[in-house]
Amino acid sequence: MKANGKSGGTVLKEVPVREAIGMALAHDLTQIVPGSFKGRLFAKGHIITEEDIPRLLDIGKEHIYVMELAPGELHEDDAAIRMARALAGEGTELAGPREGKVTVRSNITGLAAVDERFVHAVNEIGDIALATVRTHTVVRPRVPLAATRAIPLVVPAGKVETVERLAAEYRDAHGGAAPVGVRPLHRKRIGLLTTGGEVYSGRIADRFGPVVRQKVEALGSEVAEQRFAPDDRQIIVNEIYYLLECGYDIILVTGGMSVDPDDRTPGAIRETGADIVSYGTPMLPGSMLLMGYLKGRPIMGLPGCVMHDPYTSFDALLPRILAGDTITRDDIVALGYGGLLHNC
């Protein structure tokens, strides 16, 4: 065994392959099969096992460069694995390590639950990285939520231990919930009321219903019934009460949500006695959405953009309702940051 130098406390050595089991490769090793393959056989940092020895000899490697970790240091793969395990919670699975990175993926369809302050605290440590999606993002099985890695090939163990401590403290403070997880979406039965004389009379075809059904079904719920009403406030009120009495979990009212004098829907929703959280959101498209609660059940007035824009305030709020959130005024206000969408 020949020592050739070191980086920090880690020593770089030339070692006979049969003596290198359990050590980490200091660089990539390439395999060439003439006419069929040329590429990486083992990556830098790979921990050599007994099963690797024949393959190393096959490519002419009787001696290799390895790293001998100093006490208190971690290889990038081990660091990434430990960090990912510490912060991943319900609804997740781990993938990797691959090239020093471990990915935390969703294993269900649900709503990403990511604590922004925890992410910032981890990235303040230095020499390690945590990248995540935004909280409240809808995710599906195998979709990445977060990725962890060490920046250098070798990182002080104390930095990873700090991440583990922060994650443990977070769980203690949040009833066991992890800083990165997925909240399941609950299946809901939805009552849909489409207003507008032009649709009610059959003059034009309903375009709202198919779009709303598609969005709702994509999240695992169903539009159990759709009804139609003209631009008559009292009829709209009566139809909302009907949907309420049917016991539907959510009531959606489409049409008539603008400031035109003949648009009756916002006033009708108020007349039902609903507690209006907000009429209007700081999000474009979708600024004319109404959010409220009628006898504890969510009721939403949907603006016309829901018919033709792929993502609106409705798409931002519906998954949170399906995950069990009660939407507050603060939630509406928060939509403004990042709420100017490219399709508006």
- Confirm whether 342 is domain-assigned: no
- pLDDT for the residue 10: 64
Q: Give the bridge partners for 190, in sequence order.
A: 223, 250
Angstrom distance (rounded) from CA 282 to CA 325: 19
Name the pTM for this structure: 0.82
109 and 200, same domain (yes or no):
no
Angstrom distance (rounded) from CA 234 to CA 264: 9
- pLDDT for the residue 6: 44
Radius of gyration for the alpha carbons in the chain, expressed in angstroms and rounded:
28
Question: Is residue 228 over pLDDT 90?
Answer: yes
Local confidence band at 2 (pLDDT 50, 70, 90 cut-offs): very low
Higher-pLDDT residue of 274 and 63 is 274
315 and 201, same domain (yes or no):
yes
Instruction: Kindly list the distances between the CA atom of residue 241 and the CA atoms of 64, 191, 209, 234, in Å, as whole numbers in the listed order.
Output: 77, 11, 19, 11
Q: Which of 68, 86, 121 is the last residue of a domain?
A: 68
- Confirm whether 106 is domain-assigned: yes
Question: Is residue 9 over pLDDT 80?
Answer: no
Q: Among 54-58, 215-219, 238-242, 323-327, which stretch is predicted with the lowest mean pLDDT?
A: 54-58
Local confidence band at 191 (pLDDT 50, 70, 90 cut-offs): very high
Question: Is residue 260 over pLDDT 70?
Answer: no
Q: Where are the alpha helices (DSSP H) in 9-73?
A: 53-58
Angstrom distance (rounded) from CA 29 to CA 25: 9
Domain range for residue 216? Answer: 189-334
Question: Is residue 85 over pLDDT 70?
Answer: yes
- Confirm whether 343 is domain-assigned: no
Domain with 223 in it: what CATH number?
A: 3.40.980.10
Number of residues that make up the chain: 344
Question: Is residue 262 over pLDDT 70?
Answer: no
- pLDDT for the residue 171: 98
